[in-house]
Amino acid sequence: MNAEIITIGDELLIGQTVDTNSAWMGAEFSKMGISIARKTAVQDKANEIKTAISEALSRCNLLLVTGGLGPTKDDITKTTLCEFYGCGYRRDEAVVAHLEALFEARNRKLLDSNIGQADLPELCETLHNRVGTAPGMWFDVNGKVLVSMPGVPSEMMNIMIHEVIPRLKNRFQFPVIVHKTAVTVGIPESLLSKLLEDFESRLPAHIKLAYLPSLNMVKLRLSGRAENSNNLPDEMEKWFNELCHICRKHVLCREDEIPARYMTRKLIEKNLTYTLAESCTGGFIANQMIQEPGVSRIFKGSVICYANEIKISELGVDPQIIETLGAVSEPCAAAMAEGARKKFRTDIALSATGIAGPGGGTTEKKVGLIYIGLSTQNGTQVQKFHLFGNREQFMARACNAAMLMLKDCLEREF
């Protein structure tokens, strides 16, 4: 099967809306073994829409279309599809009943423009919209399926899950696709690819390795494809294990996860309390970690200690350390972590002190330098990093580096 997506709407092209719909559809399809070959975003103009549709249908046999189904003048997808397929309208009484119930529940009057949403192209099957007013449409013409859905993400997802996917499973034959993703931290893409050179050259043709880099982490995604289910999962497992073994020093987790959330979940599972003493990262790591629901069981609080006087008064850092070696130093990071762990009486404390930039760097201590400390009752260790990018990138990288230290610590000590 060849599938494509067309998204319709000026707001997508002038950057007012980030298109998350097509990413969601791509991910759902990928899980089912269908890869989307192309995505096209077009303006709310009938000719542009018709051209894009006819081009796409010449390449694929499944076309997903979103957007342009609202009740206002600039929503022209439905009329354009009628023109494209050269058909008239029929009124769908089930949609009328749904609209009446919906408007009554919302205590609003049903306007003509709303009832018009029940008039659908004769050639399509109605896709019921449980959470909104605009129904989806399923065209199956000349061996090609075109599905039209609203652009509101919750409505599109609901129609996809309840109406489109079940129909697709009846209509098409699906290949088997298996993805396995490992998240690596602290090693650049180029070094990883050198490490994996031999591995990659040995991969069979139906298994591909992709490098997906972002802020101090690189996701390694292994994708395998087969026409029927056979032994692909086992085969993938074997290759993925080898991949993870080759990169074992750098793999934070063997799932497609955000490092801070993954590590926080590990802490919750092990019921280990933690705290933080953040200087240059100013709350970033704390905030990333509390994104994981249930964190309140193991996180009581932490200190943001931007100024030296707060490092001294709140965390008990020896003023001598700061005077002689500076706040951006190994002993200071160690004292911050120890001080925080004792103050908050936790199993683990992480600290971060560095120079986020753009100002504040010196010849000896350049922008990007950071010391990350980790303290447990067994002792305190500090690692030194040079991180690059703007302030936000610096913080994201620092957080990922801290998570890798945390992972090593959990494996070693807990």
> Does 37 contact its own copies by CB under 8 A?
yes
Q: In terms of Cα–Cα distance, which of 343, 222, 350 is closest to 280?
A: 350
What are the phi and psi torsion angles at 290 (to 5°)?
A: -75, 0
- Selected from 154, 241, 324, 362, the binder of its own copies by CB under 8 A is 154
Subset of residues 339 to 378 that bind its own copies, contact rule: CB under 8 A = 344, 358-360
- Selected from 60, 92, 224, 278, the binder of its own copies by CB under 8 A is 278
> Does 287 contact its own copies by CB under 8 A?
yes
> Does 96 contact its own copies by CB under 8 A?
no
Q: Dig out the tokens for 163 from the structure.
A: 């109406």
Omega into 358 within 30° of 0, i.e. cis?
A: yes
Size of the site for its own copies (CB under 8 A): 105
Name the residue nearer to its own copies (CB basis): 279 or 375.
279
Q: 120 with 89: CB under 8 angstroms?
A: yes
User: 370 forms bridges with which residues in the sheet?
Assistant: 354, 385
Name the residue nearer to its own copies (CB basis): 166 or 294.
294
Q: How far apart are CA 193 and CA 211, in angstroms?
A: 8
Minimum gap (Å) between residue 113 Cβ and its own copies:
5
Subset of residues 246 to 265 that bind its own copies, contact rule: CB under 8 A = 256
Minimum gap (Å) between residue 124 Cβ and its own copies:
22
| Structure letter (DSSP) for residue 385 | E
Beta strand ranges found along 152-292 (DSSP E): 176-185, 207-214, 217-226, 251-253, 274-278
Q: In terms of Cα–Cα distance, which of 37, 44, 36 is closest to 16?
A: 44
> Does 204 contact its own copies by CB under 8 A?
no
Number of neighbouring beta carbons within 10 Å of residue 118: 22
> Does 77 contact its own copies by CB under 8 A?
no
Q: In terms of Cα–Cα distance, which of 70, 272, 234 is closest to 155?
A: 70
> Does 124 contact its own copies by CB under 8 A?
no
Convert residues 126-145 into a mask of x (bound to its own copies by CB under 8 A) and - (unbound): -----x--------------
> Does 319 contact its own copies by CB under 8 A?
no
- Selected from 87, 246, 258, 310, the binder of its own copies by CB under 8 A is 310
> Does 205 contact its own copies by CB under 8 A?
no
Q: How far apart are CA 215 and CA 397, in angstroms?
A: 6
Label residue 210 exposed, middle or buried (CB < 10 Å: 0-12, 13-18, 19+).
exposed
Subset of residues 177 to 196 that bind its own copies, contact rule: CB under 8 A = 179, 188-191, 193-194
> Does 380 contact its own copies by CB under 8 A?
no
- Selected from 97, 141, 161, 307, the binder of its own copies by CB under 8 A is 307
Minimum gap (Å) between residue 412 Cβ and its own copies:
26
- Selected from 156, 185, 252, 303, the binder of its own copies by CB under 8 A is 303
- Selected from 1, 8, 36, 217, the binder of its own copies by CB under 8 A is 36
Q: How far apart are CA 21 and CA 309, in angstroms?
A: 49
Q: Which amino acid is at 71?
A: P
Convert residues 99-118 into a mask of x (bound to its own copies by CB under 8 A) and - (unbound): -------xxx--x-xx----
Minimum gap (Å) between residue 321 Cβ and its own copies:
17
- Selected from 50, 128, 206, 219, the binder of its own copies by CB under 8 A is 219
> Does 79 contact its own copies by CB under 8 A?
no
Q: 61 with 120: CB under 8 angstroms?
A: no
Buried/exposed code over 150-184 (b: 16+ C-beta within 10 A; e: otherwise): bbbeebbbbbbeebbeeebeeeeeebebbbbbbbb
